[in-house]
Amino acid sequence: MIEAAKAKKFQIILCKSQSRFTRDMELVEKYIHGLFPIWGIRFIAVADNADTEVKGNKKARQINGLVNEWYLEDLSENVRMVFDLKRREGKYIGGFPIYGYRKDPADKNHIIPDPEAAEVVRQIFQWSLEGHGRQNIAYLLNQRGVPNPTRYKAERGWTCNHPIKNDFGLWNKVTVGRILTNEMYTGVMIQGRRRKVSYKSKVVIDTPESEWYRVEGTHEAIIDRATFEAVQRGLRLRSRTDGTGEAHLLSGLVKCADCGSTMSKCSNGKRAYLRCKLYADSGSKRLCTRHSVRLDQLVDLISDRIRYYIQTCYQLDPADLQPQKDTRREVLEQEQKALTAQLDKRSQALKTLYLDRVEGILGEGQFLELNQSFLEEKSRLERRLAVIGEELAEQGRSEGQDDLMERAKELLKLETVPRELVVGLVERIEIGEKDPDIGQQEVKVFWKF
């Protein structure tokens, strides 16, 4: 219509009301008061008695524009308030869940695992634990003919927000990395990572992590917490593969004792060695010495130390290993549950209060008084929940070491010490320069316990 008006193909735009043309005051000024007179277009809004041919009618049109824009802004805030309430309650409000889940047919705000995709997600995490990099995991998935998330949704006729870029449905390391770092697979609902700048703009920006809506236990977990944390530790090492698609057992953990840089892998055709990265990358102007160490010998040394320490820990009296009932944690969890229920009631009460005010049931004074009281009580509950959350998290960290040792006991039954165990126990390994006179080389292991 705008293009036809610009080409002067007609003379009048007739609307039921001015809001049917636009609710944006900027567009009112741009077209109705700016371009339409230039193009010779008469604008008429019947319900508003708006007519550009009537002199003195401009102020009325501008007032209509402001009222319409205020209405749109209030509507946007009301919708956002409802969405935020659902996010705080852990209800899923997205168009389509992440890969591995689907919407519950009985509740559109609840997600349940999609068996086929969930199995692929578990395999991706397992490969990562075994030391496969993101690129290699993508290669393995493509080799097996597994369609990527976008293609998977399209094949089932599900609505997809992203267009299919190719007909092959191939995986890439970005998609794999996004899955490996998504905490929602542990049963935690995380929403509000991005938001629109304004109701008048389609620009979307990232929100700080502190402003995310994070609710635990809202849906069935595909990946257990211990596995997820182990994968995150492995990813933080930024380990590189050696061309085989797998990182070696100590990849990313071995550091030069003098310059602190990560040791890189090299080979003389017979054996693999680790040497200082600065020595390898600096060319003729050496920034550090070689610090070379045989990889197989270092792996054997670290494996023996891990086995020794774990076995030493389990030579305790069996009675000492019996888990004690943590009554303090139970009390905190019960209080947390009760406070969360109260907070939900306060949030629902605030919503009802607002609706009563809009419908005129409550006067302005009553609304302000009750609203202030509800907000103060809600703030008190949130502060107490934050304190309980911090205390439970601290207890969880201490229990994490016990869980790690239990996991270590199981993993040590394997013939080869797995990388998952090494990453979980070793902070870093420092390699000193070899003393040519006595032929000794210092190796320091920094443990996480």
Domains contained in the chain, CATH given: 2-84 (3.40.50.1390), 101-236 (3.90.1750), 248-317+329-449 (no CATH)
Q: What is the full DSSP assignment across 132-144?
A: B-HHHHHHHHHHT
Phi, psi (degrees; rounded to nearest 5) at 408: -60, -40
pLDDT surpassing 70 at residue 404:
no
Q: Where are the alpha helices (DSSP H) in 89-206?
A: 115-129, 134-143, 149-155, 173-180
- The whole-number pLDDT of residue 163 equals 54
Mean pLDDT of 3-32: 85
- The whole-number pLDDT of residue 123 equals 93
pLDDT surpassing 70 at residue 408:
no
140-163 pLDDT tens trace: 999 888 999 988 888 887 765 555
Measured distance CA(28)–CA(19) in Å, rounded: 10
pTM over cut 0.85: no
Lowest mean pLDDT among 287-301, 333-347, 353-367: 353-367
The residue type found at 222 is I
Query: What is the DSSP code (8-state) at residue 332?
Result: H
Residue 99 — pLDDT band, cuts 50, 70, 90? very high
Lowest mean pLDDT among 355-364, 369-378, 399-408: 399-408
Residue 326 — pLDDT band, cuts 50, 70, 90? low
- The whole-number pLDDT of residue 410 equals 58
- The whole-number pLDDT of residue 357 equals 65
Instruction: Decide which of 383 and 352 is more confident.
Output: 383
- The whole-number pLDDT of residue 319 equals 45
Mean pLDDT of 226-251: 70
For the chain, percent helix, then strand, then coil, each to nearest 5? Answer: 50, 15, 35
pLDDT surpassing 60 at residue 240:
no
- The whole-number pLDDT of residue 121 equals 94
- The whole-number pLDDT of residue 180 equals 92
